[in-house]
Amino acid sequence: MKILLDDLDYILALDKEHKLIEHGYLIINDSTIAEIGKTEVLRKKYPNRGEFDIIIPGKHRLAMPGFVNTHQHVAEHLSRGLIPDNVATVPWVVEWAKPFYSSVTDDDEYWGALLACLDMIKNGTTCFIDQGVYNDGMKSVDAMEKIGIRGIVGRHAADRPPKEIPSNWRDEWIAKQYFESAGKALSSLERVVKTVNGRGDGRITAWICLEGKRMHTSDELYIGAKKLADRYSVGLNYHLASSLEEAQITQEETGKWPIEHAEEIEALGNNVLLAHVTAVKPNEIEILRKTGTSVAFCPGSALKLGKGATVIGVYPEMLDAGVNVSLGCDGTSAAGSTDMVRQLYLAAGLFKDGRRDPLMIPAAVAIQMATINGAQSLLLDKQIGSLEPGKKADIILFDLRRPEWLPVNDPIQSLVYSATGDSVNTVIIDGQVVMEDRKMKTVDENEIFDKATELSNDLQQRSNLIPQKKY
């Protein structure tokens, strides 16, 4: 299959030269980018347009790499709006999220993952990593295969139940949330890597995924998970330092803050991606840099859960020190949105205001965090994250003929400060046109909407969680 993206207004390549091509073209051969250049060159080189199987007009379009969402919970997607917005991180997890996750069936997981992937694609995300699902059937993988997205999955793993089990928890919930030993957790994680890796014509990869927060994860599980990831040449993904409260718990138990302790037990490295990383001491920035550990900053959930990213967060300092910082959306209850453009805006704006310094995280850097930095976090930067010949054709086209984009004096600023994911017109993943003119080509959207609504209503009853409507 040979596809031509013809006479695009702009191509934002995100390559090493940071090219912004005006009036450009892009050619895809099967799943790979073959050529990028100026339209005037294309028309001389390819006078016979009949050699292309598909020609997509580029007028009023900006092409760029698809967004890479480095923190998502597809198992949470059917809980949108269910958990109240006045709950701090620890009670949010224990009193609300855990009962919900424990009630998710294989069927819930499949349709919830389909809705999550649909939501991401409609907003321009072509690749994501999931924090880990709770069912051994891994039905989220079936959903990813069907819809055509690229992604990394895992089996959620934790081995330390709360010291005081909440009164509303059922016995079966504890068994679903927590493995009875680190050894059994590691066996399950290994099985998923062996059976899932390479599905979806190679688009789907399995990583080692842990809960990660100190109160839920033993040192034995951290250490074993890192060794397992190294043995299978895959990544290790877990939450860490997600809140000041979590950092203080780690300090009380180990005498060190989370990053310091993770280094001490050798649970960091260039194949490790940490989610949130809000509570960080200055010396821990250097630990992240020297170990090559990547960080997924989730500004949406920081704001909704009051994590303090703008007060204690040191993401600009991490970037300045050379730590690879990417962007994640987090789950729909934790954050509310899978729109990566919203995360761009927050990443570029929060620290300008919080530090009263307009030089903090320029728009161009925020875009890199959502693309090439994300690809590096997922160990995929040789395949995706920029538009270059030889890389996978994961490409999104923004519709510039919309009021929030016009006039287009600076497409980079307009993307970060003015646009929304709703202006994504076309999505190509692995050379396949998955969405065109905002219409999905791989799934029936209405079927997903209807099924997700039906299952969500049933899930509320099974989890004993009722929306707290305040109006």
- Residue-range domain boundaries for the chain: 2-65+391-440, 73-377
pLDDT, position 54: 97
Helix axes 219-232, 182-196, angle to 10 degrees: 20
For residue 66, give the DSSP letter: P
Which has the closest alpha carbon to 393: 1, 50, 42?
1
Q: What is the structure's pLDDT at 127?
A: 98
Nearest to 139 by CA among 208, 75, 72: 75
Give the pLDDT confidence of 351-370 residue by residue, as tens digits: 999 999 999 999 999 999 99
Q: How far apart are CA 331 and CA 336, in angstroms?
A: 7
Question: Measured between alpha carbons, how far is 391 from 307 in angstroms, rounded to an integer?
Answer: 37
DSSP assignments along 278-324, one per residue: -S--HHHHHHHHHHT-EEEE-HHHHHHHT--HHHH--HHHHHHHT--
Residue pair 237/273 in contact by the 8 Å Cβ criterion: yes
Give the helix, strand, coil percentages of the chain, each rounded to 5.
Answer: 40, 20, 35
pTM above 0.95, yes or no: yes
Fold of 2-65+391-440: Urease, subunit C; domain 1 (2.30.40)
Strands (E), 13-131: 20-29, 32-38, 54-57, 61-65, 67-72, 125-130
Closest CA to 176 of 132, 214, 138, 134: 134
How distant, in Å, are the alpha carbons of 47, 69, 160, 185, 269 from that of 218?
A: 63, 27, 7, 11, 18
What is the phi/psi pair of residue 279, to 5°?
-95, 95
- Give me the pLDDT at residue 357, please: 97
Q: Distance between CA atoms of 203 and 8, rounded to whole angstroms? A: 27
- The end-to-end CA distance of the chain, in Å, is 53
Domain 73-377 has CATH 3.20.20.140: yes
Residues contacting 347, CB < 8 A, separation 6+: 297, 299, 315, 327, 361, 366, 369, 370
Which pLDDT score, from 0 to 100, does residue 470 have?
59
**Two tokens, residue 215:** 């109160």
pLDDT < 50 regions, the chain: none
Record the tokens describing residue 454, joined without a space.
């039906």
187 with 152: CB under 8 angstroms?
no
Give the pLDDT confidence score for residue 460 in this predicted structure: 86
| β-pairing verdict for 2-12 and 54-57 | parallel
Counts for the chain of helices (H) and strands (E), in that order: 19, 18
